[in-house]
């Protein structure tokens, strides 16, 4: 069974640009969540999608957005990048049973 796939693995962007990250969940998982990991703030929840609808949202500015497609694949977008957006962005998928969230390897974004 394939795991959660995130692309790309690494990205370098310039301040002011925008970026799109992609996540393919485990087959059959309809919930996809996104987390930001930084040394200073740790792991913080961005948002969660289920059946193409955003169900939960963390405390991030509107520059952070996402969407989910009918095949459960998800993308997140960050516009007008700031230096502080440099982080490891992790995607997780889950089934409806509460037996855990499976994370991808992450996309490491560096903003210069």
Partner 1 sequence: GEDVEQSLFLSVREGDSSVINCTYTDSSSTYLYWYKQEPGAGLQLLTYIFSNMDMKQDQRLTVLLNKKDKHLSLRIADTQTGDSAIYFCAETPGVQRALTFGSGTRLQVQP
Report the phi/psi class of residue 55: left, alpha or beta, with left for phi > 0 and alpha for psi in -120 to 50.
Answer: alpha
Round to the nearest angstrom and report the end-to-end CA distance of the chain: 37
Which string of DSSP letters, residue by residue, matches 18-81?
-EEEEEEPPTT--EEEEEEEETTTEEEEEEEEETTEEEEE-S--TTEEEEE-TTS-EEEEE-S-
Q: How many residues bind partner 1 (CB under 8 A)?
A: 27
The least CB distance from residue 105 to partner 1, in Å, is 4
Residue 48 as a binder of partner 1 (CB under 8 A): the answer is yes
* Smallest gap from residue 16 Cβ to partner 1 (A): 28
Q: Which is nearer to partner 1, 12 or 43 (CB)?
A: 43
Smaller CB distance to partner 1: residue 35 or 64? 35
Residues that bind partner 1 (CB under 8 A): 4, 6, 31, 33, 35, 42-43, 45, 48, 50, 55-56, 58, 90, 92, 94, 96-106
């Amino acid at each position: 069974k394939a795991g959660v796939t995130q692309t790309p693995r690494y990205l370098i962007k310039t301040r002011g640009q925008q970026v799109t990250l992609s996540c393919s969940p485990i087959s059959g998982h309809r919930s996809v969540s996104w987390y930001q990991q930084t040394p200073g703030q740790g792991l913080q929840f961005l948002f969660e999608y289920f059946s193409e609808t955003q169900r939960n949202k963390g405390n991030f500015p509107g520059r952070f957005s996402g969407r989910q497609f009918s095949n459960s694949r998800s993308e997140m977008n960050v516009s007008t990048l700031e230096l502080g957006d440099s982080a490891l962005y992790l995607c997780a998928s889950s089934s409806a049973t509460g037996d855990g969230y499976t994370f991808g390897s992450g996309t490491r974004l560096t903003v210069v």
